[in-house]
Amino acid sequence: MEAKLIEGKALAAEVKREAAQQTEALKAKGITPCLAVILVGEDPASQVYVRGKINDCAQCGIESRNIRLPEETTQEELLARVDELAGDPAVHGILVQLPLPAHIDEKAIIDAIPPEKDVDGFSPVNVGRMQIGEPCYLPCTPAGCIRMIESTGVPIPGKHAVVIGRSNIVGKPAAMLLLAKNATVTICHSKTQNLQAICASADILVAAVGRAGFVTGDMIKPGAVVIDVGINRGADGKLHGDVDFETAAQKAAWITPVPGGVGPMTRAMLMLNTVEAARRAMEK
C-alpha cells in the first residue's frame, strides 16, 4: 500500500485564507490584528522562522512588528521589551522566538508574556487552561497536527494515538489535544520499553523525537495516520523528518511529508491564534 500524502502546504494555505477572512472582518470593525515577534541574536534557523512568520502576517493582512535584538541583550532588557509590548493595546500577540541565548532564562521570559497575548500557547496559564478544556490559545504545532489528522477524514474518537516525545511544546500538548478528541493516548519517550510494539499498535502515530528517520516501517500499523513533526537537518544539508518516509509510506494510509507538512501548518495556526487574540481584545 502506498500512503496518501497529508498536504501541509495546501492545508496551511486554507488556514491562512481563514485567518485573512477573519482579519478582514475585524478590520471592518476597526481593529487590525498585530503580532510582535522578538528575535534575540543571529541564529540562522531562527531568522528563517521569523521571516516566515512576518511573511505569513503580510499574507493574512495581519500587522507585524519585527523586533531584532542583539545577542548580548540582557534578561532585564528583554523583559522590559516584553513588558512594553504587553502594555501596548495595539499589539495582540507576542512571540519570543526560541531558543534564546544561554544567558537568558527562557521560562522567565515566557512567564512575562500575558496569557491573553501568548499566541504560542506556551505560558503556564494557557497550558493549564488547555488541560482543563477552558478557552485558551492552543500551541501551534500540536493544533496543526490535529487539523492535519482531521483533514484525512479518519475519526479520532476511540482510536489508539501514540505520541513519541513528551516535550512541553510538542509531545505533551499533542497528547492532551488527542485525548480531548477522545483518542486513547499513549505517550512514549526515551525510557519507554517496547517502543516498536507500542508504535505498531497505533492508529494515529505522532513522531516528535528530533532524530532523523527514527520511525521505520516496521513500527507502523497498516493503515495508520502518521504525523511527522521532526525537523532534522541532515549532513546532506536537507531537512529530514523523524519518520523514515520510504518504509513508513508502504504501511501507513496517510502520512505527512517533511518538509511541507507540519512546519507550514504550525505557522498557519499562529495566524489563527493572532486573529483570535485581536478578537478577544476587541470584545474585552
**Per the annotation, where are the binding residues for NADP(+)?**
165-167, 231
Tell me the CA end-to-end span of the chain in Å, nearest whole number: 52
Smaller CB separation from ligand NDP, 6 or 164? 164
Catalytic annotation, residues: 53, 97, 120
| Smallest gap from residue 180 Cβ to ligand NDP (A) | 19
| Smallest gap from residue 72 Cβ to ligand NDP (A) | 26
Smaller CB separation from ligand NDP, 141 or 274? 141
Cβ atoms of 41 and 50 within 8 Å: the answer is no
> Which positions touch ligand NDP (CB under 6 A)?
141, 164-167, 169-171, 188-192, 195, 208-211, 229-232, 262-263, 266
Smaller CB separation from ligand NDP, 93 or 261? 261
Cα(143)–Cα(222) distance, rounded to whole angstroms? 25
Smaller CB separation from ligand NDP, 30 or 190? 190
CB within 8 A of 56, min separation 6: which ones?
Answer: 16, 62, 267, 268, 270, 271
Cα(136)–Cα(176) distance, rounded to whole angstroms? 13
| Smallest gap from residue 46 Cβ to ligand NDP (A) | 12
Q: Which cell numbers hold the place of 2?
A: 502506498
Helix segments in the chain, DSSP class H: 8-28, 44-60, 75-86, 106-112, 124-131, 140-151, 171-180, 195-199, 245-251, 262-283
